[in-house]
Structure formats: structure tokens, C-alpha cells
Structure 1
Amino acid sequence: MHRFFLSWDKPACCAVAERLLAVEMDFYKHAVLVPTRESGRQLREFLTASCPEKAVFPPHVLPADQFIQPEEEEDEATRLEELAAWMQSLGDAPHRLYPRLFPKRMPDDFSSLLDMAAALQTLSHSMLNHGVTCGQAADACSGMDERWPDLSRLFSRCGGHLDGWQLRNRTESLLHAAAPSHLASTLLETGGQIIVACVPDIPRPLKHALRHAEEQGIPVQIWVHAPEEERDTFDDWGCPRPEIWAERAIPVREEQIRVTPGPGRLAAETCRIIAQTAESGKTDVALGVCDPDMNVALDARLRSYGWGLYNPEGRPFAGTGIMDLLRHLLLAVEENGKARPVFNLMRSSLLCASLGIRDQQYCCASLDRVRQKFLPETEEYLLKRLRTDHPGAIPSVCKILEWRDRMKEPRQLGERLLAWYPALAAAYGADTEAAETFHSCISGLARLQKKSGLFSAPAMALQLLMRCLHAARVKNGRKEHAVLDALGWMELHFRPEKNLIVTGLNEGIVPEGGMADQFMPEPLRESLGMDSFSRKKARDSFLLTALIHSREREGSLFFVLSRTSSRNDPLTPSSLLMRCADEELPRRVELLFRECSAPEPPLPYRRGGWHIQPAEGWKTATDITAMAPGYRNPWKEREKAFSPTTLKNFLACPMRFWVREALHLNEDEFQPDKEDMAANELGTMLHDVLEQFCRLHPSLEDGMTTASLQREIGEILDETFTRQYGSRPLMPLLLQKRSMEQRLNVYAEQHLEDLRNGWTCIAFEQSVENWRLGDFSLRFRIDRIDRHADGSLRVIDYKTGKTDSCEKKHLGTMKRPDALPLLSPALHPYTRRQKNGKAVHFRWKDLQLPLYVLWAMEEYCGRPTAAYYALPANPLDIGISAWDTLHDPQPGCDICALESARSWILELMRLIREGRGLITAEELGWDTPSYDVFKDLVSSSHETLQDLLGLNITPHLPF
């Protein structure tokens, strides 16, 4: 073997290409081994670009690990079949078959055994890729590790299963690796050579194949990306010596390091460096993404600059639509007869397209409506409700269920998936690699089920299939917007760009590993010549050193680090960045580990664009139609009656009220994944039960007892609950029902006490339509109205949660009463004086109970009182809270609360009818409402509302 040192004053790709061009122009007859597939593509492109005036015939370039890959044959075992063989070798009780390997009883569920089989499969690939057998490992342990005889038997049993299935174990051929016969013949015929170009890690099988090639008469050259004076720091194969490189200082300068608090800031800093580099006229920039976790943030930020990111390594198959569909199918198999899998399968656009279902959106909306209202637990109850409420969805849902039932047949999953595959491939479209990867695995599954009869249970077969697909990767097609490649650590060394940005250089990623292996401890890996941590550390030390030197004379190199991951887990900078002189180490550690936190985001109303207004100011936009010219005010057109809810929403924040109205924002979005009643649904059911109960028992009757009333109200609840949610509801629903039972038992007891105290229920769920107050029409519903034996009345509103007193719920103190005229000069605070003479100003937050009382005064005459009937989960808090002071002026007040409320109701309805009130709660000094439509609309840019409302909007900060 002849070693040749290329120097490292330029990138490896440039150095290799220049060497090839300098030696001879008939280099096409050589075979060049490069570190990775992407490195090979880069070398071919660079060779072509280096000779623009000549036709260049590139050499045979291939990744080093593919040089010894055996040719595929029809009887080769797929990864899935290998995994199945490992599963069979473990048996049902591995601790009995292999007591020294598994001294304790293992979990015997299928999933745990599958995890262990996958770990053993990975171990076998790692050993065979490095040319190591169980016998060699046992000899290296010198009898100190008793597990290897058991592992040897386990390996033999796995091979025996594959032989019994008439399948060839392709990894065994790596133990006798040789140069591919067709390539060797070509090289001998043309007089070509094998050039190992800057490959920093050569495993034993590759060394064996290269020696075999030399024995056949094919010259082998080792090209090293380092200067001649570094000759002694590399072995005969051009690999860095661990004893030297594992601790060697690395010339990283402090100004090359940028530390950021999180992925978002890392992406922003990366874009800033790219922009600065481009401004200086340097357009050849490469981006290294050592930690794939940073890809999402980088892609999002680069897109905002109009650049975009492309990942040559592709994306995990686990993130494809096919894998999602397999997960949903597994759930459907395991939860047979349950409703939940039907929802998930119908949401798969891939499945619907393959089955010819064209009304997926309608079906999903129908299913969501059924789930929202009825929360079905069983498939039977789901179909019953669909036939009643949404019969148009039944044909498509039945297609989904028929497909699922075909897949559930024992021993048929592989064949059924193969039969369905053409429709899937047609639906998948251009993403053929994902479909082909899937086809390869299901072909292996079908062959396995046919030959062995194993894994007949669909759930087991699916888990086996999904485990095999989980590790696969699928290439992405390069998008038009993609300007930069997200290069992995091993790709960076070969890139020709002079300006390089390396992100995510974290410990555990570079150098890789560092974790203890359950089968192969570090000392054993060292003695066997495998990829031990010290070898990886030496390799990465050399690669980082070469990167720095190759950009020293021309170009730039930056390392951008994040202190946390996308899941907010802490990250540690790579130890390679701390390989500096002892006197520099304290400063380097301080730089890498200093306190670094993201600034707190500004409050929503302090962000730019929160107070949005036309360029001339809101004073020119006198009403909502000037703000949103396309909006039609239903209250102005008298198409819509006023309600207590309308007034309450307006009082929360007038501006938000109008934005929500103008944009038609709907708060009642479906919640497809909910498993219990929402608060309003629970309240509606309690209202229904209480209405039925009070209609049966409005007044005191002979023989009434607490027990009889509790029994009767419980029966009403049972009937109402079953009618809504079926006979087999979800467990969370049953817990809510139990809570309602407890509340209603207390209510029945208190209801009897009220009746005995002289109260009689005279109205239930009283609907009020088109009631006139002044010139305005109102519509509302009153939960209950009672009359006492002395003739007094009270209006009651049920509250299913713990609530404040009526007064606190309706009135709030004003921090800035002087700002109220900004909304309307006709509105006046409700003012009281404390004992010390200080005036306290209140505003109305809600006008529900005063509105009910005003109607009841007109309907029944007299002075009705108002009350909340609280029904919270805690039985001790259940009871009536009356508002006895509504009609009487308080000390220091000019008018009573009811008269103040009347004036506010009339003025607010006038403002809404005229479309006025373009002012925010912040400007009025009111508390920010709990809902916030502005937060999502203007948190990123004020153009969002500009586009939606059709206005020229300019940012304006709050005063």
C-alpha cells in the first residue's frame, strides 16, 4: 500500500480532484473510494467543473462501505426476515435458553422481545461490518465474559432459522470480503488503480478486500488529507492513530465560536453569518448540521430569508404517511370494536386516496361532529350515530372498515398489503422511494409468512414490519426554494466551499457515542479493532483539525452551538472545542458554558403591531365598516338580536370584539381528540336534567323525601346520559357522570329545603324572544324563575363551576376611570364611597343578571332579585348566592346598580349597532381578556391583519 499525503491547506474534495487532474487525464480507468455517497457526488461535480473546456470521463467513484457489499440475490434475507430470525432464536423464554446472557427473567411480551431482537441484529451487523466473529470476541475476552458462548449459540440459531427458510444471510459474506469481481476485472484490463481518497476510518473487511485486490495485481493507493510532516500520526491505511489524535490540541479560535440559548436563536445566528458572508461577496457557503434536531429551526428561519434547506441524507421513514397509516392500522387491530381507530384511519389522506374515497373532508367533519357531541366508545355506537345524523358518510366509512378487516385476517397481512400496494403507489405519486422501501419490506413479510407460517397474528406482523421500517431513510427531492444543503458531520470534510458554518457540534454527536454498550464494552471494541469511542474521537479530532486548516488561508469557519434542544433538554458543547492549550482552557470553558438565556418575549400588547390602525389613525376610522369595508354589521341591519353574551364579549375588549366579528373567527372549533365533556357540554346536560326535574317537582307535595328526590333525579340523569353517549361510554365520561350524580344529590336535598321554605318554581329555561328595551331587540334564556309564598320573585342562573358572588362577577374596579370617555362619553362609572370617604369606581364586566331582572320587572311587575345557583364539583360549595342589593343605592351612590346597568346596556347596544368602539382593553385600562384573537394574528407581523381587513396598517406602540 502506498500512502500519499495531499496537505490540508484546501478542502479534501479540491485536493483529491487536483491530484487526479495533475497525475493524468485518463483517470477514468481508476476506482476512487470516498467516505460517503454525497462525497462521491461532490467529487464528480467538482471534476466536471474543473475542466469546463474538455469532456471529462470521471473515475469509478463509490463510497468505501459499498466497495465490499455483496451483489443482491433473489434468495437473500431482507432486514425484516433477519429480524424475524432473531425473534425466533430468542424464543419465548430467553433467560432459560441463554442463562448467562440473560441472568434475570426478561419481560416476555412481544414488544420487549422485538426490542431485544433488534438490538441483537444491530450487534451482528456491527460485528460483521468489522469482520469480527463470536469466536474472536470470546478469545479477546480471555474467558472473562461468560456471555459469549450463549451469544455464539444465539448467532448460530439465527443462521439456522434463515437456512431453514432457504434464505441466505448476506452479512456473512462480509467475513470473506473481496473486491467486486466485475470491478476487479475492469481494473486489471485497463491497468487502473484503487485510490482510497481521504477515508478516515477503514474497517477490517475493507482492508481484507484491498489486500485481496493487491494480491490480484491491482495497485492500491491511500491518499491522506494531511501534510507530509503528519505522516507518523496516521497508520498504514491513512487512519488517525488514537494514541495521538484522541488528546491532540485543536486550533479552534474563540472568535469562531458562537453560543446561543436554543435552536431558534441558533438558526437566527446562522442566517446572520450567511448574510454577512454574502454581503462581502463570498457566495460559496456550506452549512453543516451535525445535530439533526436543529434542522426544523434552521429550515424555518432560512425559508423566511427565501433560501430554504435540503437534507441530502433524506428523512426518516418513520415520519412518512405510510408509517402513520401503519400505526393507525395497528391501533385498529389491537382495539378491535373501538371507535377511536375509525377516526384515525379516516384522517389518512393516503388511505382514502388509495381506496378512491373522494369525500374525506365531509366524512372527517361528520366523524368529528359525532365525537364532539356523543363521544362514542364503540364502533357500533359510532355507526349508529352516523346512520342517524350523517348517513352520507356511511359508504366511505364502510370502505375503511372493509380494508381494515381484510388486513386483520391471520397469516395474510403480507399478501393483503402486497395486493393493496399498486393503489398505494398510485396515491403516493412522485415519492417513489418511500413506496419502494415499503414494498421491499412487505415482500419480505409475505415471503416469511408463506415459508414459515410465523407471525400469523396481524398485530405481531405489523409490529415486526414497523420496526424494520423505522430505521429506514427516504431521500427528499430537492425543492426549488432549497439553496443550502444540511450536511452531516462526515460530509463536511469533503465539501469544496471555502466558507463553512458548522451547527450542533455537541458532545455525544461529535464525537459520536460515549455511552456504554450492553454487549460490546469499550475495552473489547479496542482489542477487536472495532469502532471504539477512542477511534471515533481520534477520527473526529483529525476531521475538525483538517476543516480548520483547509479554511485558514482562504475562507471562513464558524461553529454555532445551542445550549438546549428543541425539547428544551440541555446540550453540552463537544469536548473537541476544549482541546486548547492549558492556559487558554479557563477562557474557553467560560465561553462555552457561560450563562446564556433567551430574552423573555414581550407581552402581546407590547409587540410591534399590537395597536394597529390606519395610517391616519383610528380617529378617521369612526366605525367598523371604515376599518373593514367588506364587513356587514348584522346589528345595524337589525338582522341579529342583542344578547347578554354579545354585551359581555364587547365589554371584555371592544376592539377584539370587532376584529373577531370582522374576521368571522369561531371559538367553537371541533376538538377531535377530546375524551370527555367540555365545560359547556357538562353544563348543558346538567341544565337538561334540572329542567326535567323541576318540571316534575315545582312545588312542595305530600310524601316528598330527600331520598325519593335523589333517586328520581338520578334516574333522569341516567336516561339523559345514555341517550347522549350510549350504554358503553368512555371512562372519563363515567367519571364526569359520577361527579354530576354527587352534585345533583346535593341539589335535590337543597331543592326540597327551598320548597319547604315557601319557594315555588314558576318558569324553567324561560326563552325570551324579541324583547324590546328602548329601541333595541334582545334575545336570551333564563334558567329558572322562583316565586315565594310572600309574592317575591327571584331569577336564577345556574353555574356549573365555582364562581364569585353575583356582584364580583358583574362589576370590576377601574384603574383609569378617566379613559372611559374614549369608549363613549355617555358611559359613567358606578361609583361608591368607602367609610374613609374615598371614591371607588366600578365598570360593568357582565350585564346578564341585571338584564334578566329588567325583563322580569316588566313581565311580572315588582322588584325581582337575582341569584347564581352554583353547582361546582365540590359539594360543599353548592348553593344559591343572591344579589339582594341590586335595587337599592349603596352608601355614597347616586343611583342603584340596576339603573347603572340599564344605562350601560342601552349605550353599549347603541355603540354596537353603529359599529363603534374601536379601542382596546389596554387603552381603557381594563384587564386583558382571557381569550385573545390578536395574539396569533399579530405576534409575527402586522401584515396579517392588514391582509385580512384590507387596510394599510402601521405599527403603533401603546401609550
Structure 2
Amino acid sequence: MPRPSRKAFDDHPDLFASAVAPAGGLKRRFLGWERPLVQSVVAHLAADWQGSGALDVSDWLIVVPTRHAGRRLREALAVHAATGDAAVLPPMTVTPDFLTSPDRMENTQVAGKIETLLLWASQLLKLDLEEYRNLFPVDPVERNFGWALKMTGDLLQVRENLNENGLSLGDVARMLASSEMEPERWADLGRLEQRCLRAAGDEGYTDWQVARRKAAAEGVLPATVKRILVAGVLDPSALAITALERHSRSLPVEVLVFAPQDTHGHCFDLWGRPIVESWLQRPIYIPNPESTIHQGGTPAEQAVLTTELLAPYGPRPGTIASLGVADTEVVAPLVKTLDEKDIGAYDPAGRPMSTHGVFHLLRLLSRLCGTRSFAVAAELVRCPDVADTILSIAKEQGISSHLTTLLRELDDLAAEALPDTLDDAIELAPRVLKSKEQSPVLVGFQWLARALKALEGDNFGTALTRFLADVFAARPFRLDIPQDAVFAEIANQIAEVLDVLESPVAELPKETLTAAGRLELLLRMLEEQMYYPERTERDIDLQGWLELLWEDAAHLIVTGLNDGKVPESIMAHQFLPDSVRRVLGLRNNDTRFARDACLMTSIIQLRERTGGRVDFIFGRTGAADEPLRPSRLLFQCADEELPARTLQFFQKPETLSEPMPWQLAWRLQPPPLEDDAGVFQKLSVTQFRDYLTCPFRFYLKHGLRMREVDVGSTEMDAMEFGSLMHHVLEKFAKESPAATSEDPHVIRAEFNQLLDSRLYATFGQRLTVPVMIQSEAARMRLSWWAEKEAEERAKGWRIVTAETPLSPEADPWKISDMIVSGVVDRVERHEEHGIRLIDFKTHSPSTALGGDRKHVEEYHLARIKRTESEEDFPPWMLTQNSLGETVRWTNLQLPLYRLAMERHHAGEKIHTAYANLGKTKADVSLDSWLDLEGRLLESARTCADGIVTSIRGRAFWPPTEKLTYGDDFGHLFFGDPQMAVDPSLISSTTREEASASPVV
């Protein structure tokens, strides 16, 4: 039977308002804006109910735009029935997709989303790309299952968009064959679609989209359905309308339009869809725009503004006011802000399963399968359930451990060995951790390695189930707890995917469908799923834009009203740009605009007639600080109003409340040191330098032993690189026959052998790329130093010893009764020049004033700055340099070496030197400090005495405000340690005094 013509509808709109259309069972009714849509629909459904007995509407099939609209309708029907103290036999409420679901087809085995993904991905991997060059002009960088899965997802999304109008890729290829819209590429797409449809048929499946078109044309409704009502659906797909039109031949079908017929009857088509031409230029009346349209800045600022607008309604605003969220970026900050006001929030759209912890766990497992990366394995170990499982396995093996031990060992392994893969970590853990018994970290990595091997085996499903069972074995589950109920939903989805993976559909080569590929498929399926937490009585709904038509609250607040969100923008698409959509009759930017203009008009006009109010909030920047524009709908006003509204939108928004000056919530209050703390018993030569740099940071680093561990590093830091070089030079001096050689080639070969041995012992057989680059840098520096070694041997310098401790346990050396520790890198002797104490440095010499290289003296002494005076420093810190200038001590390393070694070389000439092993050959040098003697040396001893006295007197305050070099603790102070730290307990002398005050 032919559809009514557009002209007949335009000439006689009242024909379709209450009378049966020529199609026979199709009727359209306008509801007006005098009361909310949900109330009007309820009144329509209950028109024949006498108020006694059950309200029976169970034979109705009601088509609504969203799940939430269906819930609102069922609630409203129950409330209406309760007015007569009666029950309600509810209707079946569905969304338009129900009408075209393959479930409407009987005796048809339809390929689900998982089967379809696998079928298409397998065909993409089998394609001869030369035959599809219009579709794949360039070969993919890596043609694997991951590529095929992503490409399949894109193509299936195109098919889904086309199918809203009942079109296939082949249909579009024929429609565009003579156009200028890339017909060759569409022809390739059509051929690919036919290939995949044949593959599905060979497996006994009907394609999902084909089944949807058949459902629209032949689908069967439940036997209980006697009549159909389409209520407030502004944009049903053409495919859904095809189904409705067919059902209208045998069942009464009514379309309810939420608008008055007298003024807007000509603005809607027969199916209740806004007619584009009627809405593109139609002004939208917004009452009092200067006070009802607000700028919200960032998503967080929009959330704050929303709660301020809700404030007059108290802790239960949901009875009077309601929220609409057009931009999902506003949801998270809005939930947080409402929670701070003790207002619950419920998102009817549900939450993606991708936000659940199980999804995160599976994503890490997928990445680990694909890369065997140590960083991913470490992240997996830090998951609470995984960590508990590892500790449980360790306990079964007789290894007692705690979570802190596990995490500390993980950090130590990452920082010291820099493993790149899980296998590197398993190899290096015994060397780095050196535990007497097997460490929990090693147990955990071995368990992960076994799990990966099982997943790559013949029974992926069993292996994955076993892994998840191990991880969650100790966790109790209760289905009445919302988070636990989600576990059940995820478990069902996992089981469904595993069933498909074990079917003939998944028969891909093992090298193609790897464990990582199977997990990627599983994640893709889970990512598309939503779960719906329970709504509590106090919650306020955070409704999406399309659900606002069903909202009946007097005060409606809509956030995120930005262009691209409302009206929803159909951005440029590689296959379906807006121009192609228009040609194919698909939803496009104009139809979206018409729909959203109609919806906005309706929610405003309802409250205008019923004494309510609508507030609109738009943002200026997004979550990533990207600039945003106000919605075009906000500019859809009369021409004379446009200049004032534009000025209003682009002026600086008023601050709703005076911002508080920024301040710390609390000050850090470090505890006092114990009387027997290590820094009161022994100091290393480098600790003297740290105290001179900053006494407070010395206290944190050496008193409290605070340090930052970089567990994400992929290369050696400066200290680790220096330790590598020192190890090679120590072994060379102590054990190598080449230590006496004057041949640089012999010395260089020995350095290379010692370097390779150390690298293998520390990092294993396979070096990461960053460590390999650093090892070659070390090799080059040692090669340059080999020439210097040979030159010094030729001059008569002989190595006496290396790594000489200043304070051996049997004979400690002290200053002011404080043991001073340290190690002299090398001691050399010359028959004429005496003893030379060498300290190896791997930095390149810095540039001093005047552009010259800094001399070793300048690494120990600093000039007084113009902003400083001598009175700013204690007398013991000041001295005279070799030029007779007043300077201050910044480092006592070589002076302390010199003083300590006098007792081992009495009567001999002693001088000190830095051996610089810098980045360039010019930076490799020997820098002797011949002036370190007499008064200067005694000044160094006086300075050391002063430091010891100050430390014992607990003089750890005030801190140095700005350091010349990196500050390991700077991020704790927010730029101002004086403001961030309360030092009142630092100078406490007993633990009893500390316990009398709270410590943060």
C-alpha cells in the first residue's frame, strides 16, 4: 500500500492528527505543551481506564527513544494506577532498534557481533590487497590480527550507519557508480562485503545487517502485542519506519508528537520526525537569556555552577529540579561535585564496562601477551588482586612475605637492572635481589610467564579461566552488591566470546589469532557493553540530551551545551562524510540540527506554559583545555537579539563566588631524629657536601632516609652510569695485568672486556636500546681514558691500590669524634712526585666565569654572590681561594681524602686530583689540586668540625631556598619550603617530645 504523499500531508495536516491515515492502521496525534510528555502519554494510555481494577496496558508495544524514557513511563503508569489504589499491567517498552533486531526473525541463525568481527577480520587477512587497491592504496605497516580487527570495526560501523536506511555497501556502490564520490572505492567495499557474506553463509550464518533488513520486512512481534504506540521519538531510522509501516497494516499504530498541532503541525512528518526545512531557520525563544544562559569554563567549573543552581532545593533537589548533561565530559566532575554536597547522582546511560577493574586487568594481560614488557608486568603485579595472588602462591611455596616487600623488590629490580621484558626480569631478579630464599617478585613473574605460555597453548579458554580464577580466588562475591553483580555480567560476556573462539569461525592460523589477538577481541566486545548500577532514592538523574523530552521536573538545568554536542555534529568520516550522507538519505548535520532544535524548543515551551524554568550552561574549554564554542542553538534567535546575545557569550564570565587565595591544606611536620640516628655516628664525605648544600634536605635524605625511586626508567641514571665506570676502573686497578701497561691498545681491550662482563652481570644477555647506547658511550669514554692511562704509566705513575676505604672497620678515621667514611677511587705513587689521590668523575667539566673550564678547586669552593654577604654564613664555612678571594666551602671531598690518607703516607708528598671522563675526548682529563695544603687544608678541617657540631646540635633549619642543581625534594614544597614545612619538631632532642605532638 503506498505511503501518503508529502503534498497531501502539507495540504491536510489535520487528516493525520486524529484520523486514520490512508495506510489503514496508522494514526498521528499531537499532545501539546500544556503538560509534560510522560504525563500526556500516561493519560493517553489510561484514557479508557475507569479508576478501578488493574490498569491493563499489557497489550501495548510502546516505542520510546531510550531505555531511561521507558523506565520513566513505567514509573509514571505505576503512580497513576496508585491513585486508584490499583496495580498496573505494564506495556512492553522498547527502543526503535527492537523493531529491526534479528531476534524478530524466527529459525534464523544470525552471526552475532563476535562472529561477524572474526569472519570479517579473517577475510581481510586473506585478501590479495592488489585486487583492492582503491580501498587499500598503501599496504598496512603491520598486517596482523590487530590491524584486521580495527579495520573490521571501522567497516562494520559504516555498514551499521548505512543500514539505518536499509542500505548495504553493495547498494551504495551501485548508487554512486556514476558519481564523483569515490565510486571505485565503494566498488571495492561492495566486493569485500559480498566476500564476507559468502563466508558467513558457508559457516551457516545469516549476516547481522542482512538479518536486520529482513526483520524490518518480515519480523514477528510477540503474540501479546495488539497495538503499537510511538511516543516522543524524534529520529527513528528509516529501517525502523519500514517495520512500523508494515506492522501498521495489521495492527493499530499511533504516533504521539510532543507539540501543539495548531502552531507546529506542519513541522513534523507522519512519523513524528521534525521536518528539516521547518526548523533550520525557526527562532528558539529562550526566556530571560541574560540570566538563564551561563558560561561554565571547564567541565569542573560547569559542575560547580550546576550545584550552585541546585543549592536552593536542599539535599533532595530531584523532586523539583533535574539535570541534563549534553557533554559526557561533564559527568565525572559533576558526580564528584554533587557527592561533596551529599547529593547522589545516577547516570541512566549506564557505565561502560571499560571503566571496571576487570577490564583494566584484561587490558594489561592483553598488552603483556603482545609485548612481554616488564613495565606492563610490573603494572599488573601492582593490581591488588594480582599482588594478593602472588603472595598466596609464595606462601604455598614456603616463602613468607608481605605486600611492602613485594613492592619494594619490584622497585629495586626496576631501578637497578632496568629489565625490558618479563624474561629479563626473571633472569635478573636473583642477581639484583640476592635474597637467601626465592623472592615473591620472582615467584610472581614466573607465575605470569606460566600463564602466558598457557594462553598461547591449545586451550586459550581454559587458560584464561584458570588465570582469572587464580586472581580472584580469595575474593568473596555477592550478587546483591552492585560492583560484584558487574563481575557476573563480565563473566557471561567472557564465556560468550570464549565459546565463539572455540568454534569453527575462529579457525585462523595460530600465528594470526594469538593470545594477544584473542584478548583484544574480548576487550573490544567488553568495551561496547554497559552496566547499570542500582539507582538509590536520593539520586538525581544525569540525563542525556535525548532523554530531556521525557523530563517533567519544573526546573531543568542542562550542562555541556556546546557546538558539536548539541546539535550533535557528524564530523568528516573517511567513508561517510556529510555530503555522502545527504546523497544516501542518511541522518546528516541538518537532520541532527532539526531534531535538537525541536527538542530544545519543546523543553523550553513546556516550562514556559507550566511556570518552570530551564537553565543552559555551556563550557569555554574541554577536559583537555581545547577551546569550545557555545551551541548554535543558543544563537537561534531573532536577528535583533543576536548582537546582545553574542556579546553576552563572549564577555568574561562573572565569578559566582569569591575565590579563596591558594594555600596549603596543611604543613608537613617531619619527626625528630632518634638519638642514635646514623648521622650522629658516622658521616660520608658526600654527606658533608649535602649538608653544605642544604641542611634541611640533608636531614630528609640522610636523617629520614627519604629517596625517590624511578621505577619507570629505561636507562641508567647518572649515578648508575658512574657506578658502571667505577666498577670497570676498580677491577682494572686491582686485578688486571694491564694496569702496568704503557700500551693504550692493551688497556683499551681490558676495559672492553671488563665493561662487557659488568653489563652482562647487571642487565643480562639482552640489553635494552637505551642501555646499549649508554654502554657504547661508556666504551668510548674508557677508550679515551686508556690513552691517558698509558700516558701516566709512561710518566712513572704506578697504581698502588683502588677503592681504599677511609675508615676500615678496625681502624676508623674521625673528625671531632665523628667517624668519616668514604672510598678513595685510586691511590698512585711516583718516585719523584709522591702520592696522588684520584677521584673519578663521569661528568664533563662545567664552564666557570669567563668561559674557562672549572678547575677542581671550583667544585669545592664558591664565590660569595652579589646578593650575599659574608655575614650570611658561619665563619667556619669561609676561607680564601688560591687567588686570595673570600669564598665558602661547598664540598669537602678531596680535602677529607687528603686529611684521612696522611696517616697512611706519613712524610710523603700528597696531592689530589679529579679524573674527568667526560662526554667528549677533550673532556677526558686529569685535574690536579696542587694548592690543597697548608691554611686551605686546615680551613677544610675547620669546616668539617663545624658541620659535625651543627649536625649533632640538630641544626637542620632553615633550608636553602633555591638549589643550583636538581632538587630531589622540590615537588614536596610547592616552591616554598618555608611555607610548606613546619620545622617545630626537627630540633626536638628526644622521642618523648616528638610523641607529645602530632606528626604528619
**Shared fold (TM-score greater than 0.5)?**
yes
1:666 counterpart = 2:706: yes
From 57, 80, 103, the equivalent of 1:28 is 57
Which residue number in structure 2 is paired with residue 290 of structure 1?
Answer: 326
Which residue number in structure 2 is paired with residue 578 of structure 1?
Answer: 635
Which residue number in structure 2 is paired with residue 742 of structure 1?
Answer: 780
> Superposition pairs for residues 459-470 of structure 1, below 5 Å?
461-462=517-518, 465-466=521-522, 468-469=524-525
Contact kept in structure 2, 1:653 and 1:929, CA below 8 Å: no
Deviations 1:287-320 (A, max 9, x none): 4443334445445555555557554434444454
* TM-fit CA distance, 1:227: 6.8
Structure 1: give runs of 5+ residues left out of the alignment.
Answer: 614-626, 889-895
1:119 counterpart = 2:154: yes
* TM-fit CA distance, 1:199: 1.3
From 556, 560, 567, the equivalent of 2:618 is 560
Q: Distance in 1 between matches of 2:687 and 2:582?
A: 75
Q: Secondary structure at the match of 2:568?
A: coil
> Superposition pairs for residues 90-129 of structure 1, below 5 Å?
90=124, 92-93=126-127, 95-98=129-132, 101=135, 109-110=143-144, 111-129=146-164
* TM-fit CA distance, 1:724: 2.1
1:5 counterpart = 2:2: no
What RMSD, in angstroms, separates the aligned Cα atoms of the two structures? 4.7
Which residue number in structure 2 is paired with residue 541 of structure 1?
Answer: 597
- Aligned partner of 1:855: which letter? A
* TM-fit CA distance, 1:109: 0.8
Which residue number in structure 2 is paired with residue 681 of structure 1?
Answer: 720
Structure 2: give runs of 5+ residues left out of the alignment.
Answer: 1-25, 395-401, 478-483, 847-853, 987-993
Deviations 1:661-696 (A, max 9, x none): 78x56324251x432222211111111111122335
Q: Distance in 1 between matches of 2:939 and 2:666?
A: 30
Please say which of residues 386-395 and 507-516 is displaced more in the overlay.
386-395
Deviations 1:688-716 (A, max 9, x none): 11112233589995x61222222222222
1:66 counterpart = 2:98: yes
* TM-fit CA distance, 1:659: 5.6
1:375 counterpart = 2:421: no
Q: Distance in 2 between matches of 1:281 and 1:127?
A: 42
Deviations 1:794-837 (A, max 9, x none): 5433222234434544436457657977xxx95566377999xx
Contact kept in structure 2, 1:425 and 1:435, CA below 8 Å: no
* TM-fit CA distance, 1:640: 4.1
- Aligned partner of 2:684: which letter? S
1:641 counterpart = 2:702: no
Q: Secondary structure at the match of 1:879?
A: strand
Please say which of residues 257-266 and 346-355 is displaced more in the overlay.
346-355
Q: Distance in 1 between matches of 2:251 and 2:599?
A: 32
Which residue number in structure 2 is paired with residue 413 of structure 1?
Answer: 460
Q: Distance in 2 between matches of 1:289 and 1:433?
A: 27
1:221 counterpart = 2:251: no
Which residue number in structure 1 is paired with residue 449 of structure 2?
Answer: 401
Deviations 1:769-788 (A, max 9, x none): 34321133332223234445
Change (3 A) 1:439 1:355: farther
Q: Distance in 1 between matches of 2:869 and 2:48?
A: 88
1:39 counterpart = 2:69: yes
* TM-fit CA distance, 1:879: 1.9
Which residue number in structure 2 is paired with residue 891 of structure 1?
Answer: none
Q: Distance in 2 between matches of 1:432 and 1:379?
A: 31
> Superposition pairs for residues 85-484 of structure 1, below 5 Å?
85-90=119-124, 92-93=126-127, 95-98=129-132, 101=135, 109-110=143-144, 111-134=146-169, 136-137=171-172, 140-141=175-176, 143-144=178-179, 145-177=183-215, 185-188=223-226, 193-225=227-259, 228-251=262-285, 253-259=289-295, 262-275=298-311, 278=314, 284-299=320-335, 301-302=337-338, 310-335=346-371, 343=378, 346-347=381-382, 357-359=392-394, 361=403, 365-376=408-419, 382-386=425-429, 389=434, 391-393=438-440, 395-409=443-457, 412-414=459-461, 416-417=463-464, 429=477, 430=484, 431-449=487-505, 457-458=513-514, 461-462=517-518, 465-466=521-522, 468-469=524-525, 471-475=527-531, 477=533
* TM-fit CA distance, 1:734: 1.6
Deviations 1:379-429 (A, max 9, x none): 66543444563524455544332322222125x435654676766786784
Deviations 1:550-589 (A, max 9, x none): 45542441313142433x4444443333334445545555
Contact kept in structure 2, 1:10 and 1:549, CA below 8 Å: no
Q: Distance in 1 between matches of 2:575 and 2:410?
A: 49
* TM-fit CA distance, 1:241: 1.4
Q: Distance in 2 between matches of 1:282 and 1:936?
A: 41
Change (3 A) 1:897 1:4: farther
1:733 counterpart = 2:733: no
* TM-fit CA distance, 1:99: 5.7
- Aligned partner of 2:958: which letter? I
Q: Distance in 2 between matches of 1:297 and 1:137?
A: 43
Change (3 A) 1:398 1:464: closer
Change (3 A) 1:719 1:395: closer
Contact kept in structure 2, 1:609 and 1:954, CA below 8 Å: no
1:781 counterpart = 2:823: yes
- Aligned partner of 1:35: which letter? P
Contact kept in structure 2, 1:363 and 1:397, CA below 8 Å: no
Q: Secondary structure at the match of 1:559?
A: strand
From 546, 562, 572, the equivalent of 1:516 is 572
Please say which of residues 302-311 and 204-213 is displaced more in the overlay.
302-311
Which residue number in structure 2 is paired with residue 801 of structure 1?
Answer: 843
Deviations 1:254-290 (A, max 9, x none): 5444445544544444455444765998974544443
* TM-fit CA distance, 1:355: 8.9
Q: Distance in 2 between matches of 1:716 and 1:356?
A: 38
Change (3 A) 1:629 1:800: closer
Q: Distance in 2 between matches of 1:653 and 1:264?
A: 40
Please say which of residues 583-592 and 117-126 is displaced more in the overlay.
583-592
- Aligned partner of 2:592: which letter? K
* TM-fit CA distance, 1:118: 1.9
Change (3 A) 1:755 1:607: farther
Change (3 A) 1:463 1:885: same
Q: Distance in 1 between matches of 2:35 and 2:128?
A: 54
From 920, 926, 932, the equivalent of 1:880 is 926
Aligned residues: 910
Q: Distance in 2 between matches of 1:346 and 1:441?
A: 26
Identity %: 25
- Aligned partner of 1:577: which letter? L
* TM-fit CA distance, 1:36: 0.9
Contact kept in structure 2, 1:287 and 1:486, CA below 8 Å: yes
Q: Distance in 1 between matches of 2:573 and 2:692?
A: 64
* TM-fit CA distance, 1:86: 1.9
Q: Distance in 1 between matches of 2:538 and 2:923?
A: 61
Change (3 A) 1:469 1:845: farther
Q: Distance in 2 between matches of 1:666 and 1:746?
A: 37
Contact kept in structure 2, 1:165 and 1:452, CA below 8 Å: no
